[in-house]
Amino acid sequence: MSQDEGLRGITTGQLDRVLKTNVYALFWITRAALDHLPRGGAIINTTSIQAFEPSPQLLDYATTKAAILNFTQGLAQQLAPEGIRVNAVAPGPIWTPLIPATMPDEKIEQFGADTPLGRAGQPAELAPAYVFFASQEASYITGDRLGVTGGRTL
């Protein structure tokens, strides 16, 4: 899809692929895991800053990340009586192999520069957020999200 095409450039096939990858898969995996989660268990999903600040050129992707946040919050309410917590990590700009594969060269150099920290994060900088949500230190947190955004607000 080109930026100039916007919504008109997102085919039904592309939307279906992105929804199946980001939303359907999450739904199916979570449903399969439920029978194996004990009281005190935790589900940690990955949403994105895109759920809060959607980039026009990532409309299909951003839509799925907002759906993940909504799924997280609703499922947290549903599973709270079973003692299962559900939270989400919301990364901002993070260097992954997808960045150079999905971004024009001239934008790669500036990736993450718009954050208050002035840089993109590294994948290892996300890990503590997941570890926290999985730990007993987060035993009273459910239906929430933790932004790892370099200082950009959610």
Q: Is 61 a catalytic residue?
A: yes
Q: What percent of the chain has pLDDT over 70?
A: 97
Q: Is 24 inside a domain boundary?
A: yes
Q: How many domains are there within the chain?
A: 1
- pLDDT tens per residue, range 8-31: 999 999 999 999 999 999 999 999
Q: Is 153 inside a domain boundary?
A: no
Q: Is 17 inside a domain boundary?
A: yes
pLDDT at 115 over 50: yes
Q: Is 73 inside a domain boundary?
A: yes
Neighbouring residues of 151: CB distance < 8 A, sequence distance ≥ 6: 115, 116, 117
Place of tokens 């999450």: 26
Q: Is 137 inside a domain boundary?
A: yes
The residue that leads in pLDDT, 108 or 137, is 137
Q: Is 154 inside a domain boundary?
A: no
What's the CATH number where 91 sits?
3.40.50.720
pTM passes above 0.75: yes
| pLDDT reported for residue 98 | 83
Identify the domain containing residue 79 by its residue range. Answer: 6-148
* b/e 35-71 (16+ beta carbons within 10 angstroms → b): eebeeebbbbbbbbbbbbebeebbbbbbbbbbbbbeb
* Closest residue by Cα to residue 69 from 92, 45, 53, 91: 45
pLDDT at 1 over 50: no
Identified catalytic residue from 24, 61, 130, 140: 61
